[in-house]
Chain A
Amino acid sequence: MIAALTQLLIYQLAGEIVARGLGLPVPGPVLGMVFLFAALSLAGGPSPDLQRTGQGLLQHLSLLFVPAGTGVMLHLGRVAEEWLPLAAALVVSTAATLAVTALTMRLLMPKAAAPEDRP
């Protein structure tokens, strides 16, 4: 677990260094993901340790958003004042994004990729 965590942190660090060093608009962890993906493709897959640790982290991905979400405390005033535009923007935009993305994807997906036809 420690070896796998070290590995994940090294990829994240490499991502941060490249992103900041080259002034890229891409966040460090996303570049780190790209680097790890490249390494996994070369190695043919993750070690059992990395597989387990990665799975453990991702299983509780939603926990990691809780501290930032609790930050709503800092903005109760603004949220109370602008609740209507905020709520409407979030609801309309989220629904529109879900619908547009899913419809575009389905329109362009080959029929063979439908779930009924999977082997």
Chain B
Amino acid sequence: MSGALDAFALSPRLGELWVYLAASPLLGLTLTLAAYQAAWWLHRKSGGSPLANPVLLAVALLVTALTLSGTDYLTYFDGAQFVHFLLGPATVALAIPLHAQIRRVRALALPVLAALVAGSVTAIVSAVAVGKLLGASAPTLLSLAPKSVTTPIAMGVAERIGGIPSLTAVLVIATGVLGAVGARYLFDAMKIREPAARGLAIGVAAHGIGTARAFQVSEEAGVFAALAMGLNGVLTALLVPPLAAALAG
């Protein structure tokens, strides 16, 4: 009896606290960092397995927590945007490892450019073609087209061609996670061992999430991934509008 009374006495207080937390960016920011820490802990517990991808785990934890607490995404993003914003300076910072490895990159300039163009076209055409074959709607197809490049670029491209930018962001992350998880098994099966080839491919196919994974494996693979991610961002921005119009229309 007294327990129930205590709860009644407490609930207005809890209500007030929730009103404060829900309106402040603190909760979204803290939740993001905490979910990421937990995801890394799980990733390490798994022995660093690519299957226990930190982004995938953190997103799963966050979606569960937000759904259970009835918090909508925009409220959450008020806080999480501070983390999201750092994608810009982090992209700029990719120049640092690139500069450290430029001699090796320059020696392979021609193979890098040829592989980049082949990969970039494959990424766009195969995604739209498979989606269309299986009956995806036009807005979904247009949101799919730029899925292999880093979030801010892909969202900008999707908006320009009539896709749904926030859906594109999700498809971009899913692609990055798939690439980071699957690349090792695919390359091992194909007997591709050169770090430059593995890194470049993961950067073209799986942008920043793949690049983060490549840096964990070796700096050389990471640098080629970072280079591929940057160049593919530019190339995809140029290729998607004409290709998507031809494929999805």
Residue positions of A touching B, CB distance < 8 A: 5, 8-9, 11-12, 15, 25-30, 32-34, 36-37, 40-41, 45-46, 50-51, 53-55, 57-75, 78-79, 82, 84-86, 88-109, 113-115
Contact = CB atoms under 8 A, between A and B. Distances in A.
Contacts of A107: 111
B99 interface: yes
Interface string B213-228: 1010000000000001
A90 B127 contact: yes
A8 B237 contact: no
Given A67-B84, A90-B171, A102 B230 contact: no
A115 to B, nearest CB: 6
A86 B144 contact: yes
Interface string B127-165: 110111111110010001001100111001000000010
A65 B55 contact: yes
Interface of B: 32-33, 35-36, 54-56, 58-59, 62-63, 66-67, 72-73, 76-77, 80-81, 83-84, 86-100, 102, 107-108, 110-112, 114-116, 118-119, 122-123, 126-128, 130-137, 140, 144, 147-148, 151-153, 156, 164, 166-167, 169-179, 182-183, 186-187, 190, 192-198, 200-202, 204-206, 208-209, 211-213, 215, 228, 230, 233-234, 237-238
Given A27-B156, A82-B136, A100-B122, A67 B194 contact: no
A81 B118 CA distance: 32
Given A36-B95, A94-B148, 10 more contacts: A12-B92, A27-B156, A65-B176, A70-B66, A72-B173, A88-B134, A89-B127, A90-B144, A91-B178, A114-B194
A108 B111 contact: yes
A71 B177 CA distance: 15
A85 B198 CA distance: 27
Interface of A is mostly: helix
Contacts of B108: 105, 109, 113
A38 to B, nearest CB: 9
B21 to A, nearest CB: 17
Chain A CB within 10 Å — which of B92, B114, B204 has the most? Answer: B92
B53 to A, nearest CB: 8
Contacts of B178: 90-91, 94
Given A90-B175, A115-B194, A58 B215 contact: yes
Given A27-B233, A67-B84, A97-B148, A75 B93 contact: no
Given A66-B32, A67-B32, A104-B115, A90 B174 contact: yes
Contacts of B169: 68-69, 71
A56 to B, nearest CB: 9
A98 B183 contact: yes
B67 A73 contact: yes
15 contacts: A26-B234, A32-B91, A58-B96, A59-B215, A61-B90, A62-B54, A62-B55, A70-B73, A75-B166, A84-B134, A98-B201, A101-B116, A102-B190, A104-B119, A109-B194
